[in-house]
Structures are given as structure tokens and as C-alpha cells.
Amino acid sequence: MANDASAVSDAISRDLAALADPFTPPADSTLWRKNFLLGAATASYQIEGAVDEDGRLPSIWDTFSATPGKVLAGDTGAVACDHYHRWEADVDMLVSLGLEGYRLSIAWPRVMDAAGVPNRKGLDFYKRLLNRLKEKGITTFVTLYHWDLPQHLEDRGGWLNRDTAYRFADYADLMSRELAGTVDAWATLNEPWCSAYLGYGNGHHAPGLADGRFATQAMHHLLLAHGLAVPVLRANDPASLKGIVANFGRGTANSDSAADQRAAHLFEVQHNAWILDPLLKGAYPQDLFELWPGTEPLVLDGDMQTISAPLDFLGINYYFRTSVASDGAHGIREVPLEGVERTQMGWEVYPDGLRDLLTGFNSTYRNLPPIYITENGMASDDKVIDGHVDDTQRISFLKRHLAAVDQAIKAGVDIRGYFLWSLMDNFEWAFGYERRFGVVHVDYSTQKRTVKRSAELVAKFLKERKAQV
């Protein structure tokens, strides 16, 4: 492994040394377009903290992270980046980097009580934040659900309970009435695959349940919630875009055998078609139930029409590729590749996977809406040395993934923007605070923010692009 790590380090060094500027795209890149949005993203539970303040109710992640053994080192989001108290300075930091867009999420437990009564203090926090962002000229993408379900709804079954979808529509109604005019784009859900599979299928995320039948039923109710919310958002805030954000996985076969090729297909059915087929075709892929027999969800008349309501945009989150093979029993097994570059998460760095997914979706779905890359980034063990953070691998990662986006645009995919994950280091769910995804370093003991070299280079490019307009 030491030799592998050395080879990867040498490859990154050669990659960066070959360029006068290790980030700036070439002159023929579509990323120089003035209407191509470049921003950064965060999520409420990962940065806000203040979990007991101003009427906020407990969420499933408060419960899960407080359960021994669920989160690395026993970390919780109780304080996180203290963004709830430091939001003004964080907005100033965002503006100072020249970032044009900010994707944030709203904490459902912060804005309404168990009876659905609005919590004015929680609502006012988001109003102040969004108004400031608009004053600064920042394009705002707001996600309604980034995994922090109110615990009182989980106590009634959570996403296994169909009623939660209707409660979500009520929440969407409240937020779009209160925040109309301050939001450029609404995303109903973030990564329903993670909510359904990691939360209810294998228990790695809150609420920690593990049953294949739970996963498919939870997914159906999540997508139903999305479908119910879209017309509400359209009615209350017609000037904004409406969409959804999903994470997608590139699966490649470990060999040319028919069985391994089939395994790669089924991997992408599970990670991609499970979400996109209902949204864009109005039906679940039957191959999914070949992989997970007996897990078909309860679908009522009209559900699929509701779920497949037209979208203004699709948010795509991409991180890595997975090499797979047949398990010999109509299933899938992962085959870790040797000698490849990996991040602190152990994920393979594979920019071609992003390009391949984008072009593949464009050919598969004739009604594919405009796309924003709503998350892309990597974790590394970043340290502040003499006041600086030189995150060399991240710089190389971003350069290559933005090149993959450029290739997809040139191949005909309608991609409108790209959001770095993440603006700053934060609570990385079951991995706690050990894994750092930010382009800004956070010292959790002091809450000091330190801009990393990657962010400096992004800011330099944005300044150069603005000067050309």
C-alpha cells in the first residue's frame, strides 16, 4: 500500500506541475461562460449547531449521534461549525471568495413544532441569512430536506409512514410562503438514496434501521413527498426553480464476463435508476426487484403521476466509482481496485465516472431537465501549517472533475452550474469530525476558519472570469 500511495502522490504532483496554474480551466473550457454558476454547498445539521436553541426540536440525527457506537468518536452535531451564531461572518467569507452561488438546507425541526405551528425564531434565522445572501448578489439554492427529520415524525414511523410525505408537503408550504422571493432554486430532497438505503436499509445512517423492505418503502414515501411538494412550491414561489438533488454512483464491471457486466448494470439500477426512473419515467425499474426480490413498495393509484411531476432542474451529487463483480447468486459484490488514487474516505478518485454518468443520463432520459452538479468534492486530512492549508490533492481533484463536467457539456449535456462540497469542514455524519471536505478549514476547538489553497485558487479563477465579462 505504501508503494500505491507513493505512486498516487507522484501522479498528483505531475498533474499539477504540468500547469502554470493548477486550477484554472483551459481557454476553451465551457466553465469560462459567465452564466455557468460556481458555488459551494453546506447542510443544516452539519454546520449549524445550536440544537437546543430558539425552539428547535430534536431530529433523528440528534438521536442517532447521541447513541453510543453510531458515530465515530461519539461526535454529534450539537455545536458543529456554530454557523447558527456565526452566519454573518460565514456569508462574508463566502463573498470574499467570489463564489456566485450558495446551496444550503433548512432544518425542518427548527422552523415548526410537532403540531405544525411555525417557530418564528427559527424562521427568522433563515430569513436573515437568505436576505443577506441576496443583498450580496449570491444565487441561493435551498434544500428542504437534508436528512434531519424531526424525531417526533420518526416516532410515528418516519419515512415508513405515508403520512410523513403529507407532513413534508405542509412543511414545504410553510417555507415557500415565508421565504418566497429570497430563494432562486428549491430542492425538495437531498440524496433520497442515502435516506432510504443508509437510513432504513443497512442502518449506517439515522434512524438506523436495516431491512430491504424498509428501504424501498421509505424511498417511495420520500419520492411521494417530493411529488407532493413540487406543486406547492410552484404555487407559493413561482419565480424560483424547483428540483431535487440525488447522489449517483458509477459502477464498472471487474471483468468482461456476462455475469460481472450484469452486476455493474444492477449496481447502477440500484444507485441511479431507482431514483431517476420514477422521477422521469413514472415507474420503478423492475431490475431493482430482481436484485432485491420481495421488496416492492406499496404504491397507491396516482402515486407515480405525482412523483413524476416535471422538474426545472436535477441536482447531481457525485463522489466516486465502484468496481463490482457478480456474487454468483444474481447479486453484487464490490471488488476494491489496487493502485488507484483514494481520498480520506477511502473512495476512488475517478473523474471519468462523472462524465460517463452525465452523458449516459442524457441519452437514457429524453426528458432530462437542466443539471446542476450540486455536490462534488473530497475529504483529506488537512492541517493548518504556519497559517496555511495546502490541500494539493483537492486542487487536483477539482481540476479533473471540472474538466469532466466540461467534457459532458461539450457532448451535449445541459449543465448550468457546479457546487463545491463543501464550503467548510463540518460534521460528516457517521464519520463525525475526522473527515474534512471543506475548502475552508475549521478548528473545532476555536471555530477559527482558515481558507485552504483550493479555495484561494477557485477565488482567483472567478476573479479572472469576472474581469473578462
Please tell me whether 428 is known to bind a ligand.
Answer: yes
How far is 104 from 83, CA to CA, in rounded Å?
12
E strands in 35-194:
37-41, 101-105, 139-145, 185-190
Name 388's Cβ contacts closer than 8 Å, sequence gap at least 6: 450, 453
Please tell me whether 108 is known to bind a ligand.
Answer: no
How far is 102 from 37, CA to CA, in rounded Å?
10
DSSP helix/strand/coil, 413: coil
Q: Which of 48, 100, 154, 191 is catalytic?
A: 191
Indicate if 154 belongs to the active site.
no
Please tell me whether 147 is known to bind a ligand.
Answer: no
* CB of 168 closer than 8 Å to CB of 178: no
Give the amino acid at 304: M
Q: Which of 48, 154, 348, 375 is catalytic?
A: 375
Peptide linkage before 207 cis (omega within 30 of 0): yes
If you search the block for the grid coordinates 411555525, which residue do you land on? 118
Q: What number of other Cβ atoms are within 10 A of residue 256's Cβ? A: 7
Residue 372 DSSP symbol: E
To 10 degrees, the CA torsion angle through 57, 435, 273, 185? 60
The sign of the CA dihedral 354, 5, 425, 31 is negative
Q: What number of other Cβ atoms are within 10 A of residue 299's Cβ? A: 15
Please tell me whether 190 is known to bind a ligand.
Answer: yes
Q: What number of other Cβ atoms are within 10 A of residue 179's Cβ? A: 22
Please tell me whether 429 is known to bind a ligand.
Answer: yes
**Phi, then psi, of 3 in degrees rounded to 5:** -65, -40
* CB of 427 closer than 8 Å to CB of 64: no
Please tell me whether 468 is known to bind a ligand.
Answer: no
* CB of 328 closer than 8 Å to CB of 321: no
Q: What number of other Cβ atoms are within 10 A of residue 275's Cβ? A: 26
Indicate if 191 belongs to the active site.
yes
Q: What's the angle, vertex CA 97, arms to CA 94 and CA 102, rounded to 5? A: 40
CA atoms within 13 A on the CB side of 354: 32
Cell numbers placing 296: 416492492
How far is 19 from 290, CA to CA, in rounded Å?
48
How far is 383 from 428, CA to CA, in rounded Å?
17
* CB of 263 closer than 8 Å to CB of 200: no
Active-site residues, by number, are 191, 375
Binding residues for substrate: 46, 146, 190, 319, 421, 428-429
Binding residues: 46, 146, 190, 319, 421, 428-429
